[in-house]
Amino acid sequence: MVWVQRFSVILFLGSFFCWPAQAAEPWRLLDDGRIELEQGQVLRLASIRLVEQKGLKIKADALIRELLSNQDWSVGEPTIKDRYGDLVGIIEFSDGKSLQTALIEKGLARVYPQVGEGSDLSALFQSENVARETRSGLWALNIYQVVSAEEAVPQRFDLRNYYQLVEGTIVAVAKVRGNIYLNFGEDWREDFTIMIPKSFAKSVVAQGLNYKDLEGKRVRVRGWFRLYGGPLIDVTDARQIEELR
């Protein structure tokens, strides 16, 4: 990696994009947290979901602007494109820290595993755990608290169609017509379930998830809470499930 000081154009090295601090800024922060680069390319920050709450979103935007304006940074490999044509990558600073880590440490984002994005997210999960324990940022608000599986019931309208973290003990595992179900109760119509859709089952297992061994284990899952017969979260990436001790 080559770091360039006070240089106002993009230096393209393979799939790296490098910007110096204190130069004429060749980027613009968009309202949804994406970053517009020179040549009109747009970057989405990989593996995190920025806070939605208005007051904290203002703080997140301010932190992003502060760090990108005052530090040397680059978009490091691997950089991919999503289905909308946006670049997806990790912004790395010259001290080795990432923008993603900085946001999670302040409680201004949550870890958001998605297929093809990032690799080892253990450092991000660790930073998120610390932020949650210290009730930093979003973790001080009730709407972002981890929900117990017992409370993740169909009557919880406030959970529906939101990105949630749910914790509980898996009581049964089943595979039906190619879909994998990790059940947290005996009545799938009322009790919370993790579903690994048939179209993702092979890739999730290939990531190292041995779902058969999860029966009786306590886990934390993250994803979009919805009703499909009963309350569930779809898992398309094995990193959405954390085994707890």
Could you tell me which CATH class the domain 11-140 is placed in? Answer: mainly beta
What pTM does this model have? Answer: 0.86
Give the pLDDT score at 24.
61
What's the mean pLDDT when you consider all of the chain?
89
The contacts of residue 10 (CB under 8 Å, 6+ apart) are 17, 18, 19, 26, 37, 38, 39
Long-range contacts of 155-160 (CB under 8 A, 24+ apart): 156/231, 159/225, 159/231, 160/225, 160/226, 160/227
Give the pLDDT score at 15.
44
* pLDDT exceeds 90 at position 120: no
By C-alpha distance, which of 26, 45, 144 is closest to 101? 45
The per-residue DSSP string of 166-219 comes to: EEEE--EEEEETTEEEEESSS-TTTS-EEEE-HHHHHHHHHTT--GGGGTT-EE
The contacts of residue 173 (CB under 8 Å, 6+ apart) are 180, 181, 182, 183, 211, 212, 214, 215
Q: What CATH number has the domain spanning 146-243?
A: 2.40.50.140
Domain boundaries, the chain: 11-140, 146-243
* pLDDT exceeds 90 at position 126: yes
As a whole number of angstroms, the distance between CA 21 and CA 70 comes to: 5
By C-alpha distance, which of 26, 44, 25 is closest to 34? 44
Give the highest mean pLDDT range of 4-13, 186-195, 213-222: 213-222
How is residue 41 annotated by DSSP?
-
Residue entry with tokens 């059940």: 183
Average the pLDDT over 24-44 and give the result.
90
Average the pLDDT over 153-165 and give the result.
87
What's the pLDDT band for 188 if we cut at 50, 70, 90?
confident
What's the pLDDT band for 3 if we cut at 50, 70, 90?
very low
Average the pLDDT over 183-204 and give the result.
95
Give the pLDDT score at 5.
35
What's the pLDDT band for 13 if we cut at 50, 70, 90?
very low
Fold match, 11-140 / 146-243: yes
